Amino acid sequence: MSAIIESITTQIVDLPTIRPHRLSMTTMACQSLVIVRLRSSDGIEGLGEATTIGGLSYSAESPESIKCNIDAWLAPLLIGQPADNINGLAARLDRHVRGNAIARSALETALLDAQGKRLGVSVASLLGGAVHDHLPVLWTLASGDTRKDIDEAFQRLDEHRHHQFKLKLGANALRDDLRHTEAICDALKGRAGVQVDINQAWDEATAVEGIAALEAAGVELIEQPIPARNVHGLARLANRFRITMLADEAVQDAGDGLTLLDAGFSGAFALKIAKAGGPRGALKLAHLAQSAGLGLYGGTLLEGTIGTAASLHAWSTLASLRWGTEMFGPLLLKDDIVTESLHYHEFGVELPRGPGLGITLDEDRLRFYSRP
């Protein structure tokens, strides 16, 4: 007899960051995680995490709305259902729930974690099997101060922690952003690669001017320079410049991927389990991109260890990630709520071992950082 889902609980956890993290839409000094605990009649607990950036400044879901919607709407659809039928449970949510991709990602992660523990296998095994057990990880330089960013990059290089770096642009005047980027590219030339993320801050005309200068400076990749809805503009930019355009907010799932391909987009896709409704949806997008010959990038919404581990299990099943990953979320946090942190070394991170996600909660620190 199949185990039955008996309860699903959520907690909001607020973890301070090691420094202010400046993006085009907000500056973060704290990251709020919604931790999902799914318990079944066989005594197995699955863990999930729902995380976004800066409340509602990034997406239509906030930590508070995620918790509320799981508690009031999504969890009741799953409680009492067979815990091992992940396809059936996903179809049930499809019939009754619109949107809420981040909340659904946390629930799917918890179901996969529980099923892995039940069978004694990893989440990567449930997703087809790991091709890699160590994945490259870049670091985002987002202090807003050029000298501090350069010093931070040199420190990460010396520690063998990261040798690819991303800059967050778009919050300042174009001239200031270009001066900042050019200085960092000059400082890191020959030692590390540089990418930039505009977070949709430019219009297309500004993007044409900015991309030309960034290309000349030696930037390797430009992420989402214009608003997500302007898919034809993104395709035009991808085809106009040699430098690769990375679609992020414009490509949430495989349906968006088809729309971009139909528009003639020839860049790369950023994968995120949160925006695709879970690891399986992110992999559907990845397989579409691979079929079309596009490069892939393992993206993050700055999740903590649980959400990062779920992403790593998904990315590990992909033979090629042309642009690596940015799964550095736990490194941005001053503390953690797990018993054993992820192992970052040699410019990357190891895939967690053990059944399910391979992650165990630290109950004391979970209580300390949880909201009342």
Catalytic residues: 168, 326
**C-alpha to C-alpha distances, 42 to 6, 16, 78, nearest whole angstrom:** 9, 36, 16
- Amino acid letter, residue 146: T
- At residue 261's C-alpha, the angle toward residues 301 and 104, to 5°, is 35
303 within 8 A of 33, measured Cβ to Cβ? yes
Neighbours of 201 (CB within 10 A): 23
Identify the three-state secondary structure at position 208: helix
E-strand ranges in the chain read 5-22, 27-40, 45-51, 134-136, 139-141, 164-168, 193-197, 221-223, 244-247, 268-271, 295-298, 344-345, 348-350
CB half-sphere exposure, 24, CA atoms < 13 A: 21
337: which residues sit within 8 A by CB, 6+ positions away? 13, 15, 33, 35, 304, 305, 361, 362, 365, 366, 369
**Whole-number CA gyration radius for the chain:** 20
Tokens standing for residue 350: 């190891």
Q: Which long-range contacts (CB under 8 A, 24 or more apart) does 185-191 make?
A: 185/217, 185/218, 185/219, 186/217, 187/150, 187/153, 187/154, 188/150, 188/153, 189/218, 191/157, 191/163
The helix-helix angle for 101-119 and 279-292 (nearest 10°) equals 100
90 within 8 A of 343, measured Cβ to Cβ? no
What is the rounded distance in angstroms from the CA atom of residue 214 to the CA atom of residue 136?
24
